[in-house]
Amino acid sequence: MRSLILRNSLSLDGYAAPPTNVPEDFFLEYDEDEEFVAHMTEVLGSAGVHAMGAQAYREMAGHWPYTDGPEADAMNRIPKVVFSRSPIDTPWEKTTVCSGDLATEIAALKAQDGGPILAHGGVRFAQALVQADLVDEYHLLINPIAHGGGRPLFTQSTKLKLVDVKSFPRGNLALTYRPAS
């Protein structure tokens, strides 16, 4: 049975989306950080399928197919599943659309053979996964910036167990958690 890993970027003060007065690209660029790029390439390449909400899919489909490099290779060669309740164009190769109940669709994906399901936020999609208790592991990328507001990933008390920490030269942290028993 596959596991579902939620990969999400957060500001230092825990926000998954910036306040309305901050541009969406507020997360620190890391292209110059070879260690971080290698880490992300490993994480992205370990997936059996990339799962995402419609908004994240639109943003990623507008970027990755037109980008080169090891991260782009991992994003482009591995199948994608996009969760959307309304019709969505799927220009990115190897894309399936799921429009049914989130828990039912995730259970069906988990029952398939293959590598883990790597879920990418959008905040609403990520929050829905957390609230439905569907996440087996959290890969949280903490960026060295604080906003004092925005949209959080967690909207209810969620107890987690830290299983790995990696730090990178530009100040980013990769934290891996599992739900606490």
Q: Are strands 160-167 and 117-120 parallel, antiparallel or unpaired?
A: unpaired
- If you average pLDDT over residues 27-38, what whole number do you get? 74
Q: What is the percent of the chain with per-residue pLDDT over 70, rounded to a whole number?
A: 95
Q: Does residue 164 surpass a pLDDT of 60?
A: yes
Q: What is the pLDDT of residue 126?
A: 95
Residue tagged 């167990």 (tokens): 161
What per-residue confidence (pLDDT) applies to 122?
84
Tallying the residues shown for the chain, one arrives at 181
Cα 181 from Cα 176, distance rounded (Å): 16
Range of the domain at 155: 4-179
Specify the number of domains making up the chain.
Answer: 1
Assign residue 133 a region (left: φ > 0; alpha: ψ between -120 and 50; beta: otherwise): left
Most distant CA pair in the chain, distance: 43
When the pLDDT of each residue in the chain is averaged and rounded to a whole number, the result is 91
pTM of the model: 0.92
Give one word for 69, left, alpha or beta, with left for phi > 0 and alpha for psi -120 to 50: left
